[in-house]
Amino acid sequence: MNKILRIAILGLLINFTSCKDMAVEKPDNLLPEDKMIDIIYDIAILQAADNYKPINLSDAGVKVNNYIYKKYNIDSTTYYQNHKYYASDVNNYKKIYKKVLEKITAEQTSLSDSTSIGKQTDNVEGIVK
């Protein structure tokens, strides 16, 4: 039993030390965290728009990834290396996605406020006429 326990502990130690060696390297072209937040935000918005019916972006010939690469002047390798790098730190990655969610919520609130202001204006015009 003692021998099995030692082998199990040795296996765990080897596993943990090998995970340290597999840490994700910092990309040569590291994007600032704020830029990465903007990219993830834009991807979320564009993917939501692409899934919206009656017309989705792909039917209109818009390719989400190509749009992102062009807008932020990056290529697919730069994006994926940076995404992998930021995702390797789970706690920081959660913070990034929390900021993305805050941006989406703020935009949604802004659009809701604009819509309700427009409805109020329409109601006032109806009363004046």
Residue 99 lies in a domain: yes
Residue 61 lies in a domain: yes
Task: Render pLDDT for 19-76 as a digit per residue (tens, 0 to 9).
Answer: 555 678 999 999 999 999 999 999 998 888 877 766 777 777 888 899 999 999 999 9
Task: Render pLDDT for 74-92 as a digit per residue (tens, 0 to 9).
Answer: 999 999 999 999 999 999 9
Q: Is 120 a residue whose pLDDT tops 60?
A: no
Residue 21 lies in a domain: no
Residue-wise over 45-79: b if at least 16 C-beta within 10 A, else e? Answer: ebeeebeeeeeebeeeeeebeeebbeebebeeebb
> 129 falls in which pLDDT band (50, 70, 90)?
very low
Q: What is the pTM of this model?
A: 0.69
Domain count, the chain: 1
Residue 89 lies in a domain: yes
Structural domain containing residue 92:
26-128
What is the C-alpha separation between 118 and 110, in angstroms, rounded?
12
> 8 falls in which pLDDT band (50, 70, 90)?
low
Determine contact, residues 64/57, Cβ cutoff 8 Å: yes
Residue 79 confidence (pLDDT): 96
Residue 75 lies in a domain: yes
Residue 92 lies in a domain: yes
Q: Is 111 a residue whose pLDDT tops 70?
A: yes
Residue 4 lies in a domain: no
Residue 91 lies in a domain: yes
